[in-house]
């Protein structure tokens, strides 16, 4: 089965909101062995909407529509859908009563224009919305409507929480029933592998001989500072598809080594937290240029109090001295952005918190503050632990926000590598200076 996702609304095209509905719908479709082949966004212009509807049903078995079910004048999805396929609009009295009851429960008077949400194209099946005022609908179409084969259009609200629930409770069961009755269906299985430290183009080059068969694919997705791999397989049975994906995961694991940090969609802070908990280790941090971002990412994970002892944001030289014990002479001689100071910060945090491991960051995130000797983007990162201490210096020529994100990710990756006994190296992307030696004083 081929699917298309169509999101509607001027606000999407103007960039006023991020269209997260597409990614959710595409992912959920794959869980049901339905591949999304097209994704389209269109504004609240009837002619454009008609064109989008006709294109979608002519090439897709399932069309998922999000948005345009509200009560205002620019919510046109249902009216335009009916016009496109020559269906008159019919009032669904049950839906109207549900909308009235909703307003009664919240103690508000229902506006007259809310009644438009209870009108649907003739022959459409109404999809209940238990947490909002906009019911959805499903309209099955034949070859005479599509100019091709059979297709079904599901219209859902644009509000994410309403769409998520309607998709899971109303739409996916109907898709599953249609798919079960289809002949020659292929099963689709996929995995998500997260990597850090190697650029997308380098990954593709390193894996050029992987997933070259007709029924397997390897996709790449960048979510800075990580890169995700998505091996996908199609087969005539679910077991066969799962076996092909498992084979690819094994091959990727062997090829990537420590660059691969998760074989699920878990973030690096989740992986680091689990390793710390499993090994009974604790962690502290001392941050300058990252301003508490490392501690924020660590404490974003539930249960982090079991392994994260605390952190110090020592932005000024005085704070580095008084809170972490960095010698004034060291700061005077080497400067705040130096390997010597980063190392002293990490060891100071480890000593003061009594942690097994401590990470420190000190750098120039910009956009100003650099010099010929110490340019914007320069950063020193250090880690101190039971096996010794390690420090390295890099130049990451990025904007301020991405510089801080990348520095934090390197620190987290070093904790992971230390706990697994891997060599501590920096990312090959954007790396201009610094070594990659194993831990040692």
Condensed to tens digits (0 to 9), the pLDDT of residues 161-172 reads 999 999 999 999
Helix (H) or strand (E) holding 36: strand 35-42
Sole residue written with tokens 């080059």? 205
Which residue ranges form the domains of the chain, and what is each CATH number?
A: 2-180 (3.40.980.10), 187-262 (3.30.70.2860), 268-420 (3.90.950.20)
pLDDT band (50, 70, 90) for residue 159:
very high
Paired strand residues for 303: none
β pairing state of 2-8 and 62-66? parallel
- pTM of the predicted protein model: 0.73
Paired strand residues for 91: 119
- Share in percent of the chain as helix, strand, coil (round to 5): 40, 25, 35
Q: What is the pLDDT of residues 295-342, one digit of tens each?
A: 999 999 999 999 999 999 999 999 999 999 999 999 999 999 999 999
Contacts of 391 (CB under 8 A, 6+ apart): 339, 342, 343, 346, 380, 381, 382, 383
User: How many other C-beta atoms are found inside a 10 Å radius of the C-beta of residue 39?
Assistant: 16
Mean pLDDT of 146-167: 95
pLDDT of residue 182: 65
Encode burial over 291-322: b for 16+ CB neighbours within 10 A, e otherwise.
eebbbebbbebeebeebbbebbbbeebeebbe
CA atoms within 13 A on the CB side of 223: 12
pLDDT band (50, 70, 90) for residue 439:
very low
pLDDT of residue 75: 93
pLDDT of residue 185: 64
pLDDT of residue 435: 41
CA angle (63, 66, 70) in 5-degree steps: 135
Percent of the chain with pLDDT over 90: 77
pLDDT band (50, 70, 90) for residue 434:
very low
pLDDT of residue 440: 38
d(CA 87, CA 100): 26
Contacts of 280 (CB under 8 A, 6+ apart): none
d(CA 287, CA 362): 7
Phi/psi region, residue 369 (left: phi>0; alpha: psi -120 to 50; beta: rest), is left
Helix (H) or strand (E) holding 241: helix 238-256
Mean pLDDT of 154-183: 90
- The greatest distance separating any two alpha carbons of the chain, rounded to the nearest whole angstrom, comes to 84
Instruction: Say if CB 233 and CB 248 are below 8 A apart.
Output: yes
d(CA 150, CA 338): 66
pLDDT of residue 436: 40
pLDDT band (50, 70, 90) for residue 39:
very high
pLDDT of residue 437: 38
Total number of residues shown for the chain? 441
pLDDT band (50, 70, 90) for residue 441:
very low
Mean pLDDT of 189-212: 87
pLDDT band (50, 70, 90) for residue 427:
confident
């Amino acid at each position: 089965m081929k699917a298309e996702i169509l999101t509607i609304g001027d606000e999407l095209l103007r960039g006023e909101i991020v269209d997260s509905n597409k990614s959710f719908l595409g992912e959920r479709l794959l869980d049901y062995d339905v591949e999304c082949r097209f994704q389209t966004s269109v504004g609240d212009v009837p002619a454009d909407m008609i064109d989008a509807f006709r294109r979608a049903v002519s090439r897709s078995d399932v069309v998922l529509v999000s948005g345009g079910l509200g009560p205002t004048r620019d919510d046109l999805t249902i009216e335009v859908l009916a016009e496109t396929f020559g269906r008159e609009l019919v009032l669904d009295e049950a839906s109207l009563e549900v909308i009235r009851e909703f307003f009664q429960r919240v103690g508000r008077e229902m506006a007259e224009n809310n009644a438009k949400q209870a009108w649907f194209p003739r022959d459409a099946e109404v999809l209940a919305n238990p947490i909002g005022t906009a019911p959805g609908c499903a309209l099955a179409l034949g070859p005479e409507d599509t100019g091709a084969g059979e297709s079904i259009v599901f219209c859902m609200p644009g509000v994410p929480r309403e769409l998520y629930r309607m998709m899971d409770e109303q739409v996916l069961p109907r898709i599953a029933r249609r798919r079960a009755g289809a002949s020659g269906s292929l099963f689709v299985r996929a995995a998500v592998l997260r990597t850090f430290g190697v650029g997308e183009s380098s990954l593709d080059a390193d894996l050029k001989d992987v997933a070259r068969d007709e029924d397997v694919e390897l996709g790449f997705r960048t979510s800075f500072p990580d890169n995700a791999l998505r091996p996908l397989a199609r087969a005539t049975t679910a077991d066969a598809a799962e076996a092909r994906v498992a084979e690819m995961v094994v091959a990727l694991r062997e090829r990537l080594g420590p660059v691969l940090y998760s074989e699920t969609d878990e973030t690096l802070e989740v992986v680091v937290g689990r390793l710390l908990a499993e090994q009974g280790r604790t962690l502290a941090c001392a941050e300058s240029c990252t301003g508490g971002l490392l501690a924020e990412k660590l404490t974003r994970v539930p249960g982090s109090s079991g392994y994260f002892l605390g952190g110090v944001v020592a932005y000024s030289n005085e704070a580095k001295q008084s809170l972490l014990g960095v010698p004034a002479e060291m700061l005077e001689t080497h400067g705040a952005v130096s390997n010597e100071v980063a190392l002293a910060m990490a060891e100071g945090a480890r000593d003061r918190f009594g942690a097994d491991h401590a990470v420190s960051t000190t750098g120039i995130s910009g956009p100003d503050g650099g010099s010929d000797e110490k340019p914007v983007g320069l950063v020193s990162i250090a880690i101190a632990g039971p096996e010794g201490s390690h420090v390295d210096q890099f130049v990451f020529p990025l904007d301020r926000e991405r510089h801080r994100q990348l520095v934090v990710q390197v620190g987290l990756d070093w904790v992971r590598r230390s706990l697994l006994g891997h060599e501590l190296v920096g990312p090959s992307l954007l790396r201009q200076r610094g070594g990659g030696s194993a831990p040692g004083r």
